[in-house]
């Protein structure tokens, strides 16, 4: 089963689907990481820019449609967490008005099944068991049909014994 690793940066809005740019995602390899920046004041009242990250959990922070490669952020107390991340003078939730805003991003990394083109010389033969175990649904298995040997007519004249 051909699997490809893909990594990208995206923004998302709470409750609205966002594409991972690929279909047939292997959920066992999907990793979403929310990276956010904050300004933290130390004991000397000096502001420092700090970057933090949180690995997101399937069906807790987000929902996944693995066949179409679409995620949707779920309402979770994590998103209501507040930090001083835009400017050092005010606290805002991690999702500002329900949306990931700069400088915050969601990094995603996953493997996906790449369907192969079926040619006339190929046919479907059942289900790819390995792909079904990884993806959780049936993936057609394509096998190249061996060409049938062509029959050559027997040449009786050449076969005559002397």
Domain boundaries defined on the chain: 3-114, 118-149
* H-only helix segments in the chain: 77-80, 129-135
pLDDT digits (tens, 9 = 90+) for 51-95: 889 999 999 999 988 888 888 999 999 988 887 766 667 788 888
> For 10-39, how does the pLDDT look when each residue is reduced to its tens digit (9 = 90+)?
668 888 888 887 778 888 888 888 888 888
What distances in angstroms separate CA 147 from CA 86, 97, 120, 121, 144, one per listed residue?
66, 62, 12, 8, 9
% of the chain exceeding 90 in pLDDT: 11
Of 77 and 127, the structure prediction assigns the larger pLDDT to: 77
Q: What is the reported pTM?
A: 0.64
């Amino acid at each position: 089963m051909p699997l490809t690793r893909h990594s990208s940066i995206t923004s998302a809005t709470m409750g609205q689907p966002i594409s991972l740019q690929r279909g047939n995602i292997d959920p066992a390899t999907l990793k979403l990481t929310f990276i956010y920046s904050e300004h933290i004041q130390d004991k000397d009242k000096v502001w420092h820019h700090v970057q933090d990250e949180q690995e997101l959990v399937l069906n807790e922070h987000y929902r996944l449609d693995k066949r179409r490669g679409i995620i949707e952020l779920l309402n979770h107390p994590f998103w209501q967490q507040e930090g001083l991340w835009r400017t050092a003078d005010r606290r805002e939730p991690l999702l500002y008005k329900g949306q990931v805003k700069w400088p915050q991003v969601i990094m995603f990394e996953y493997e996906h099944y790449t369907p192969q083109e079926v040619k006339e010389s190929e046919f479907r033969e059942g289900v790819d068991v390995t792909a079904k175990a990884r993806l959780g649904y049936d993936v057609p298995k394509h096998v190249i049909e061996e060409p049938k040997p062509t029959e050559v007519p027997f040449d009786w004249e050449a076969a005559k014994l002397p």
